[in-house]
């Protein structure tokens, strides 16, 4: 039986991957810190390895007898985090995982990157894996950190390590403990229906489809390939209306012009520097003006198509938060 290690296995994506591995009959070991919250894997039959991606020896210990490594550990809540920490964990941590995998004789590493590591074009045509990162790194330190992490992966591949890269788009679904992409569900359930919306849009996918794609990547993904994971394209306004509809609410958000959003972004940056605690940061607002749609046909063809509708995903997310007392 293949034994798989999941870094970040107590988090949103990692815990779903760990559960999917168990469902597929694989042996699971989860790497986590001593202080990690374990509720997402408390019902999972797995081994526990205490460690951290910044602790190389703990990675070596965790990878003993492991054939597959799923590297999901990362700083994803970039608007709450210091950029230096984003780069440290996402880039240096990835390099540590790859070096440890090489030293331990791991057969394959599946790296969870992000669609944010892929570049953009000025047209409306959805972006595929061939578009290189071309953002100003200051606009998206998170995306830039994931781009640099992928560079570490390609270096490891050239050294002979078998790696596959997955680039999920916006991930929603039950189990988002840190309230990252799914925070809109909580806010709306509490009656905070936004009166305005940015003019852009994005691609979304359910976390369970992301987990299944990871298993497929380990089983049949092609070495050195990137796979965008996405299910449906929605404008921010359509996403808001769908979320409201799931909860029996009505949303009448007005789409703001791009210049207004840029002005709001500047004001947001100033207020955050003054110590005002805000749920967003300026670059989020700037990026929200773009149609960031992604072409996931490659992953659909080679790894399998998503099965969970975004409406069902939002419903399950709402039900999960409600059952856990968050709303």
Confidence of residue 190 (pLDDT cuts 50, 70, 90): confident
pLDDT at 327: 80
Three-state DSSP at 147 gives helix
Would the CA dihedral through 40, 45, 51, 57 be positive or negative? negative
Least confident of 109-118, 238-247, 287-296: 287-296
pLDDT at 79: 54
**Percentage above 70 pLDDT, the chain:** 98
Q: Residue range 185-205: average pLDDT? A: 83
Confidence of residue 184 (pLDDT cuts 50, 70, 90): confident
d(CA 112, CA 166): 5
Least confident of 149-158, 164-173, 194-203: 194-203
pLDDT at 31: 97
- Would the pTM of this model clear 0.75, i.e. be above it? yes
Note whether 173 and 206 are within 8 A (CB): yes
d(CA 56, CA 53): 7
Least confident of 12-26, 150-164, 271-285, 288-302: 271-285
Confidence of residue 267 (pLDDT cuts 50, 70, 90): confident
d(CA 316, CA 106): 35
Q: Where are the domains of the chain?
A: 3-172+205-231+293-306
Tens of pLDDT, residues 124-160 = 789 999 999 888 887 788 999 999 999 999 999 999 9
Tens of pLDDT, residues 27-57 = 999 999 999 999 999 999 999 999 999 999 9
Mean pLDDT of the chain: 90
d(CA 186, CA 172): 12
Q: Token pair for residue 227?
A: 């796979």
pLDDT at 188: 83
pLDDT at 46: 96
**What residues contact residue 102 under an 8 Å CB cut-off, 6+ apart?**
156, 159, 160, 161
Q: Residue range 22-29: average pLDDT? A: 97
Confidence of residue 4 (pLDDT cuts 50, 70, 90): very high
Most confident of 78-82, 155-159, 279-283, 289-293: 155-159
d(CA 143, CA 113): 9
Tens of pLDDT, residues 200-226 = 899 999 999 999 999 999 999 999 999
Tell me the CA distances in angstroms from 151 to 73, 94, 98, one per residue in order: 17, 10, 12
- Whether the per-residue pLDDT at 279 is higher than 70: the answer is no
pLDDT at 25: 97
272 vs 302: which has the higher pLDDT: 302
Tens of pLDDT, residues 78-123 = 656 688 999 999 999 999 999 999 999 999 999 999 999 998 887 7
What fold, for 3-172+205-231+293-306?
Rossmann fold (3.40.50)
- Whether the per-residue pLDDT at 187 is higher than 60: the answer is yes
Q: Residue range 287-300: average pLDDT? A: 88
Q: Where do runs of H (alpha helix) occur along the chain?
A: 12-23, 56-62, 83-87, 93-104, 141-158, 183-189, 207-220, 236-246, 258-273, 282-287, 297-303, 310-323
């Amino acid at each position: 039986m293949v034994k798989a290690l999941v870094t970040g296995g107590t988090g949103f994506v990692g815990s779903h991957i760990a559960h999917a591995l168990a469902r597929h009959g694989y042996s699971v070991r989860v790497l986590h810190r001593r202080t990690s919250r374990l509720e997402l894997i408390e019902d999972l039959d797995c081994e526990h390895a205490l460690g951290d991606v910044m602790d190389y020896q703990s990675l070596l210990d965790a990878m003993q007898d492991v054939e597959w490594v799923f590297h999901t550990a990362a700083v994803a809540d970039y608007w709450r985090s210091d950029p230096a920490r984003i780069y440290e964990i996402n880039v240096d941590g990835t390099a540590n995982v790859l070096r440890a995998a090489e030293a331990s004789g791991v057969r394959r590493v599946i790296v969870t990157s992000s669609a944010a590591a892929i570049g953009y074009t000025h047209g409306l045509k959805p972006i595929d894996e061939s578009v290189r990162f071309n953002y100003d790194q200051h606009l998206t330190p998170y995306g830039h950190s994931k781009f640099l992490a992928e560079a570490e992966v390609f270096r490891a591949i050239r050294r002979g390590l078998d790696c596959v890269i997955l680039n999920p788009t916006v991930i929603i679904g039950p189990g988002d403990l840190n309230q990252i992409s799914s925070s809109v569900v909580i806010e709306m359930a509490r009656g905070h229906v936004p009166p305005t919306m940015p003019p852009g849009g994005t691609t979304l996918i359910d976390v369970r489809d992301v987990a299944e794609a990871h298993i497929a990547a380990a089983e049949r993904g092609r070495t050195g390939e990137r796979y965008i994971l996405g299910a449906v394209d929605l404008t921010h306004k359509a996403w808001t209306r769908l979320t409201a509809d799931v909860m029996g609410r009505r949303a009448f958000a007005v789409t703001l012009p791009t210049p207004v959003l840029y002005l709001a972004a500047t004001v947001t940056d100033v207020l955050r520097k003054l110590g005002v605690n805000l749920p967003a940061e300026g670059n989020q607002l700037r990026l929200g003006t773009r149609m960031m749609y992604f072409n996931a046909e490659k992953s659909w063809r080679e790894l399998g198509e998503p099965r969970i509708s975004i409406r069902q995903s939002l419903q399950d997310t709402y039900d999960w938060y409600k059952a856990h007392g968050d709303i």
